[in-house]
Each structure stands twice: as structure tokens, then as C-alpha cells.
Copies of this chain bind each other. A is one copy, B any other.
Amino acid sequence: MIIVMKPEATKEEIEHVKSVVEKHGLGIHKLSRGVKQTVIGLVGNTRAISEKQFEILDGVEEVVRVQKAYKLASREFQKENTMVEVDGVKIGGEEIVVIAGPCAVESRDQFLEAALAVKKSGAKILRGSIFKPRTSPYDFQGIGTDGLKLLEEARDATGLLIETEVMHPEHVRMVAPYVDMLRIGARNMQNFDLLKQVGRSEKPAILKRGLSATIHEFLMAAEYILSEGNPNVILCERGIRTFVTETRNTLDLNAVPLVKSLTHLPIIVDPSHGTGKYELVEPMSMASIAAGADGLMIEVHPRPEEALSDGPQQLTPKRFGVLMQNCRKVAEAVGRRM
């Protein structure tokens, strides 16, 4: 961390900053008094110290963090890519892995029909939420724990891996025996108790980016899971909230190559939430692969117009089949496979 003092900072102010630095157990590697202003460089583990604690001191102009606040998630900590592997399915390797299924588990028939359809077109993992975070208390809230047996049944019937959303630390214990992967939704990206609980689980975790999360905050959320001992985190870009109203969210594909340069963790993209419109899902899936994504999460419903949630962004099985074919061509063009 580097502290830049104001040109008019007094000697006393500089001395005071030094004493605060030392109180935090940090050293001063260099104090350079320039013609115009003084710059103080710190040594030691600054990860646990907020820039704010120095910014507030009298005479301080600016504080620059040099060491990143995340450690386990960083490329510096681990140079080679993390590959998350479950039962032979590898996320973060050469293959682009597709997670597909309905937004919500609604009934046995609907879920099994969707499961068989996505399996047939080449998905490797089945998604299906039994707990649904909904803006309105009057909207469908998910079928709850009754759905656990359906998740299991769909896995047995198709051989697909299963993932579902956890919204609550209690859900982790409840859901883990039935699924292969846990999903943390965008609204819970900074539900820190949930992150910690998932970190203590042995299940791989899909962590969705929050609606208004910077890349830094996204990686800090991953760090919460990693620092509790779970190394299998899969990041998921799903669109951010901006002033644009014509799409549900703004899919930030810049995040894909940027995240890959900063962290060793795999990153997938959810163009269903990222666009909110089924017509845009196919082109944005192809774009995600071209941008370097390690996988896709796509909502597929046997009859989207009857869906209890998010109908407009769910694909029919037929459209999903076409999407898979077109994505495969892009995957090959970028030297990967599906």
C-alpha cells in the first residue's frame, strides 16, 4: 500500500500517519520526501487493512492499494487454471460444459421432460431451482424441499449431474446430499454467511455475479468460499444492472477475459438472465464462447409459456438443440469442444 500525502501536509501529519501504520503492525519500506509531496510505502500484510483507515488521516491525499485484497483467488497465488471435476465432467478445461434446465422445478413431469430434452442435446449438468428468490411475495416461491426427490430422480433417469440454488446457510446441509453442485444466486453474492457455509461444504459451487458487483467484489466473494476450504468455485457472469431497459440485464462479456487474467477459477456465462429474452440467448451463447467462457448456463422449459417464472427467457427444447449445434461450431473455431 502506498500513501500519498498532500503537498501542504505538515511534518506532524506525516509523523502521525507513520505511527498509525506502525500500530497496524506494518512497516514503512520507504518514505520519500519529494519536492512537492511525500510518499509513504508500506510493507507487511496489508490485505486485512482497508485503504479507508489511512484516507481518513489528516494530510493524506490518496491511498493506493498495490497488493490485491484477494489472495487465494488470484493468478499470483495459482498460475495454472483450476479445473473443477465431478464424475468425469470437467469445468475449466478444453471442453465447454453446458448446464441447462428449467428456471424452476415445477412438477415431476415438467422437470423430467426438460431433463431428458437437455440431455439429448448434449448438456452435461441439469439445473433446477426448488427455492426461488422472487421480487414479489405473491409470486411462486419454488416447490421447496418436496423437490429434492425430483432432483434425485432426474439424475437417475438421465445420468446428468444436478445443481440447485441455495439461498440460506441452512439450505446447504439440506440440499447437499441430493445434488452435485450448489448455486449461489446473484442476489446472494454478498450473503456472507451463505458464502462461508458453502465454503465449508465439499460440493463445487457456482457463484453468480451480483447485479451491481464490480469484478473486484465478485472475486472477493469467491475468496470467502475459498478461504473456508472449498477450492471448487465456478464463477458465473449473468448480466449487471445498468440504465439499459431494453434487455433485462446488460451481459458484461468483458468480464470473461478480464476475470480469466485475474484468477485461475473457471468462468461460465448465463445468457438467459443476461438478456431476459429468449431470442437473444443463442447469439449471446455463441459470443460467450468466443469471449473465452468455460461453460454456459441456459434455461430450457418444455413449454415456456406455461412457466411459473421467467418464461420469456426460457428456450424450448427445440431451440436449445439448435443453439447447441451452433455453439459447437464456435467452440471448434476457438480450439475447444462441446
Contact = CB atoms under 8 A, between A and B. Distances in A.
Contacts of A310: 52
A47 interface: yes
A30 B32 contact: yes
Interface string A82-117: 000000000000000000000000000000000000
Interface of A: 2, 4, 20, 29-30, 32-37, 39, 41, 43, 47-48, 50, 52-53, 55-57, 61-62, 64, 66, 69-70, 133-139, 141, 167-169, 187-188, 190-193, 196, 211-212, 214-217, 220, 223-224, 227, 240-247, 250-254, 256-258, 261, 274-275, 277-280, 283-284, 286-292, 304-305, 307, 309-312, 326, 329-330, 332-334
Total copies of this chain within the assembly:
4
A191 to B, nearest CB: 6
20 contacts: A30-B39, A35-B43, A36-B66, A37-B41, A52-B310, A53-B305, A64-B64, A69-B136, A133-B190, A133-B192, A135-B190, A135-B216, A137-B196, A137-B227, A141-B192, A242-B252, A251-B254, A287-B287, A290-B330, A329-B333
A4 B63 CA distance: 12
Nearest to A274: B254
Given A137-B224, A256-B287, A333-B333, 14 more contacts: A50-B309, A56-B304, A56-B307, A69-B136, A134-B192, A136-B223, A137-B220, A168-B169, A242-B242, A242-B250, A257-B284, A287-B288, A329-B333, A330-B334
Nearest to A188: B191
A184 to B, nearest CB: 12
B258 A246 contact: yes
Contacts of A212: 211-212, 241, 243
A222 to B, nearest CB: 10
Contact of A252 (B138, B244, B279): B244
A8 to B, nearest CB: 9
Contacts of A309: 50
Contacts of A332: 333
B280 A56 contact: no
B32 A32 contact: yes
A196 B167 CA distance: 13
A333 B193 CA distance: 44
Given A223-B136, A247-B258, A283-B291, A193 B168 contact: yes
Contact of A135 (B47, B217, B245, B280): B217
B244 A241 contact: no
B291 A287 contact: yes
Contact of A287 (B56, B253, B261): B253
Nearest to A313: B52
A279 B260 CA distance: 11
Nearest to A62: B64
Contact of A139 (B50, B187, B217, B253): B50
B223 A137 contact: yes
B55 A66 contact: no
Contacts of A2: 2, 4, 39, 64
